[in-house]
């Protein structure tokens, strides 16, 4: 309909050559009537009402279902909504989801499922990694904390229904000759797969014994000793009944019995005296490892709690004294060796189609302590950061600063440790001092704004003079998530009520300390009897001397009393 109308109009309005010749001169086309529009800040001049400050429009986030009518003023989110929700973007308030496994596996954003988390103490690094552990458990990944030195993860893993394996002097043992599930796994397989599992378990146990010897002696075993250990372990396996797990004392026994196979690699040239001379040093180290030497019996007694490969697991090594660096190093190595043995078994079974595929999220918290404890640990982490993708393992490494890595005594180790950050799929930085920026910038590109942000997050907390408390540090829970050279995502981790209950690192400080005399406490608890029998000493009450304040009214339980009696 419209077309003929237009055509007729066009014909009518088109002057013929005769009309053009005869008609009046052409008029200029009428100017369109457009109302004048004010500039962005309003009319200038008197009475114009020009605004000096233009308020930014409020931004709201919503799903397209709820806010579909607000087009065209909508914008997509700046970061992918894939992974564990960790908090809100500090600049835009947008929710941020990120974790190394989801960003590698589902979002394809990073080339390696690993994260390096660094920041000053107390700013929430472990708390954020705990969030990852909880979230990833929801996605079906199993967190594996191979050596919790604080402990930061025990409560969480327990709450997730996982396994807490306690290790320490007199608390729990981890037999380094324990093949774990390897025997059962090999029995379910055939051919090369079964051989691979047995060979891997053998190599792991051999490496672990050699590491213990290195730590005990503070020097690595010689080539000949390594070969002797390897052969002695094989002899031990052949001799041991399949239902029994050998311990270090059995290995020592094999060494002393001098079987032909072991003598052959010891090159004793047919002389038993020469064999004894060759193996003397190794024998004395093994005696130290089995008979309560510096490392105690932690690795020579049967394993107290066998590890499960189908549940979140934490090895609680927090009872080991911080100053006991050798034992810490040995315990961490043993946990890593045992833990990766379980991961290997799970992978082999999944490859053979016998079990579902399981992914693990390995947490190495307080990495600085592990790296300083022993040289062997740097090598282990180095290998782990290169192989974790092939092993189907996500990795989170946590330390304070880049200087921790630079403080390693050996130049080779320093280079390797720097590689941990370079190879990490994502780097998550909390507040860091200014001096760290140059070092960090060499491995992750940071803009000046990002650097200023990180430095500002280290500001000290304010002192609330009225409440008589210190407020939380301003940078607590703030992180910058960096992936390669991309702009970092600043995020604040908000804790949920459930997490706050699990995050309590001040459990021992909720009750005010009391210094009442045991005599003044109720006899009904039987405390007086204990003192009278000499089981517990009566504490000296400094506060409640003759003219001191009256004894406290609150009566602690007998447990608390006997526990706190000096």
Ligand X SMILES: Nc1ncnc2c1ncn2[C@@H]1O[C@H](COP(=O)(O)OP(=O)(O)OP(=O)(O)O)[C@@H](O)[C@H]1O
Chain residues in the site for ligand X (CB under 6 A): 119, 121-127, 152, 400, 476-477, 493, 495, 503, 505
CB of 152 to Mg ion, least distance (A): 5
Token pair belonging to 53: 């400050």
Give me the DSSP letters along 112-130.
SSEEEEE-STTSSHHHHHH
Whole-angstrom distance, CA of residue 504 vs CA of residue 510: 10
| Count of CB atoms situated within 10 Å of the CB of 425 | 22
CB of 400 to Mg ion, least distance (A): 9
Q: Does 458 bind Mg ion (CB under 5 A)?
A: no
Q: Which is nearer to Mg ion, 5 or 508 (CB)?
A: 508
Could you tell which of Mg ion, ligand X, none binds residue 89, using a CB distance below 5 to 8 A set by kind?
Answer: none
Q: Does 328 bind Mg ion (CB under 5 A)?
A: no
Token pair belonging to 137: 């458990």
Q: Which is nearer to Mg ion, 346 or 381 (CB)?
A: 381
Buried/exposed code over 9-26 (b: 16+ C-beta within 10 A; e: otherwise): eeeeeeeeeeeeeeeeee
CB of 220 to ligand X, least distance (A): 31
Please tell me what DSSP assigns to residue 76.
Answer: -
Token pair belonging to 148: 């919790």
Residue 479: φ, ψ to 5° = -140, 150
SS3 call for 189 = coil
Closest CB to ligand X: residue number: 477
CB of 398 to ligand X, least distance (A): 7
Could you tell which of ligand X, Mg ion, none binds residue 495, using a CB distance below 5 to 8 A set by kind?
Answer: ligand X
CB under 5 A: which stretch of 119-127, 179-187, 368-376, 471-479 binds Mg ion? 119-127
Could you tell which of Mg ion, ligand X, none binds residue 123, using a CB distance below 5 to 8 A set by kind?
Answer: ligand X
Q: Which is nearer to ligand X, 394 or 477 (CB)?
A: 477
CB of 506 to ligand X, least distance (A): 7
Q: Which is nearer to ligand X, 119 or 392 (CB)?
A: 119
Q: Which is nearer to ligand X, 394 or 473 (CB)?
A: 473
Whole-angstrom distance, CA of residue 275 vs CA of residue 292: 25
Rg (CA), the chain: 35
CB of 395 to ligand X, least distance (A): 17
Q: Which is nearer to ligand X, 124 or 425 (CB)?
A: 124
Q: Which is nearer to Mg ion, 126 or 451 (CB)?
A: 126
Whole-angstrom distance, CA of residue 217 vs CA of residue 90: 51
Q: Which is nearer to ligand X, 325 or 476 (CB)?
A: 476
Token pair belonging to 508: 């021992």
Q: Which is nearer to ligand X, 108 or 505 (CB)?
A: 505
At how many degrees (to 10) do helices 436-443 and 448-456 cross? 130
In the block, tokens 């008589």 appear at 468
CB of 89 to ligand X, least distance (A): 14
CB under 5 A: which stretch of 10-18, 121-129, 308-316, 399-407 binds Mg ion? 121-129
Query: How many residues lie near Mg ion (CB under 5 A)?
Result: 1
Q: Which is nearer to ligand X, 503 or 565 (CB)?
A: 503
Pairing of strands 114-118, 393-399: parallel
The answer to whether the CB of 312 falls within 8 A of the CB of 164 is no
Could you tell which of ligand X, Mg ion, none binds residue 122, using a CB distance below 5 to 8 A set by kind?
Answer: ligand X
Could you tell which of ligand X, Mg ion, none binds residue 295, using a CB distance below 5 to 8 A set by kind?
Answer: none
Long-range CB pairs of 109-113 (<8 Å, 24+ gap) are: 109/80, 109/82, 109/483, 110/425, 110/426, 110/483, 111/425, 112/388, 112/389, 112/423, 112/424, 112/425, 113/388, 113/389, 113/393, 113/394, 113/395, 113/425
Could you tell which of Mg ion, ligand X, none binds residue 489, using a CB distance below 5 to 8 A set by kind?
Answer: none
CB of 114 to Mg ion, least distance (A): 18
CB of 502 to ligand X, least distance (A): 9
Residues numbered 407 to 446 that lie near Mg ion (CB under 5 A) are: none
CB of 505 to ligand X, least distance (A): 5
Give the chain's largest Cα–Cα span: 137
In the block, tokens 């032909």 appear at 260
Closest CB to Mg ion: residue number: 126
Q: Does 126 bind Mg ion (CB under 5 A)?
A: yes
CB of 228 to ligand X, least distance (A): 42
Q: Which is nearer to Mg ion, 126 or 279 (CB)?
A: 126
Whole-angstrom distance, CA of residue 276 vs CA of residue 424: 48
Residue 416 gets the label, from left (phi > 0), alpha (psi -120 to 50) or beta, of: alpha
Residues that bind Mg ion (CB under 5 A): 126
């Amino acid at each position: 309909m419209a077309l003929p109308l237009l055509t007729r109009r066009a014909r009518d309005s088109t002057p013929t050559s005769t009309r053009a010749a005869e008609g009046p001169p052409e008029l200029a086309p009428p100017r369109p009537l457009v109302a004048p529009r004010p500039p962005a800040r309003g009319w200038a001049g008197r009475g114009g009402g020009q605004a000096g400050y233009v308020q930014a429009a409020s931004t709201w986030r919503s799903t397209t279902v709820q806010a579909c009518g607000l087009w065209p003023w909508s914008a997509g989110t700046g970061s992918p909504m894939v992974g564990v929700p960790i908090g809100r973007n500090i600049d835009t308030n947008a929710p941020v989801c990120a974790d190394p496994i989801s960003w590698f596996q589902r979002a394809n954003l990073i080339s390696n499922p690993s994260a390096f988390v660094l920041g000053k103490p107390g700013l929430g690094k472990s708390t954020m990694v705990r969030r990852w552990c909880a979230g990833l458990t929801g996605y079906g990944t199993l967190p594996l904390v191979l050596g919790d030195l604080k402990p930061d993860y025990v409560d969480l893993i327990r709450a997730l229904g996982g396994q807490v394996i306690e290790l320490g002097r007199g608390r729990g043992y981890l037999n380094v000759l324990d093949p774990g599930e390897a025997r059962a796994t090999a029995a379910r397989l055939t051919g090369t797969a079964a051989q691979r599992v047995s060979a891997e378990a053998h190599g792991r146990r051999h490496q672990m014994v050699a590491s213990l010897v290195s730590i005990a002696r503070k020097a690595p075993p010689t080539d000949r000793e390594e070969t002797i250990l390897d052969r002695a372990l094989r002899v031990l396996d052949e001799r041991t009944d399949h239902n029994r797990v050998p311990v270090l004392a059995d290995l020592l026994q094999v060494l002393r019995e001098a079987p032909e196979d072991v003598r052959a690699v010891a090159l004793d040239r047919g002389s038993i005296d020469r064999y004894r001379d060759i193996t003397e040093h190794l024998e004395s180290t093994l005696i130290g490892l089995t008979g309560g030497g510096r490392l105690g019996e932690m690795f020579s007694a049967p394993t107290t709690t066998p590890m499960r490969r189908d549940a979140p697991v934490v090895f609680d090594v927090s009872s080991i004294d911080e100053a006991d660096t050798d034992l810490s190093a040995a315990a961490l190595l043993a946990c890593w060796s045992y833990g990766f043995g379980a991961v290997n078994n799970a992978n082999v079974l999944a490859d053979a189609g016998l079990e579902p595929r399981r992914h693990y999220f390995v947490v190495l918290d307080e990495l600085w302590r592990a790296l300083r404890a022993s040289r062997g640990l740097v090598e282990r982490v180095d290998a782990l950061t290169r192989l974790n993708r092939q092993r189907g393992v996500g990795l989170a490494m946590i330390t304070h600063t880049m200087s921790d890595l630079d403080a390693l005594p050996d130049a080779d180790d320093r280079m390797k440790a720097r590689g941990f950050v370079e190879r990490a799929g994502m780097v998550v930085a909390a507040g860091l001092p200014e001096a760290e920026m140059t070092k960090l910038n060499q491995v992750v590109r940071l803009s000046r704004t990002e650097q200023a942000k990180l430095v500002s997050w280290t500001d000290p907390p304010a002192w609330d003079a009225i409440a008589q408390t210190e407020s939380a540090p301003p940078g607590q829970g703030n992180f910058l998530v960096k992936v390669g050279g991309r702009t970092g995502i600043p995020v604040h981790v908000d804790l949920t009520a459930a997490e706050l209950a699990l995050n309590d690192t001040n459990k021992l400080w909720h009750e005010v300390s009391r210094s009442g005399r045991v005599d003044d406490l109720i006899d009904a608890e039987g405390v007086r009897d204990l003192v009278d029998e000499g089981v517990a000493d009566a504490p000296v009450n400094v506060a409640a001397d003759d003219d001191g304040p009256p004894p406290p009214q609150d009566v602690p339980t007998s447990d608390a009393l006997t526990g706190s009696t000096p």
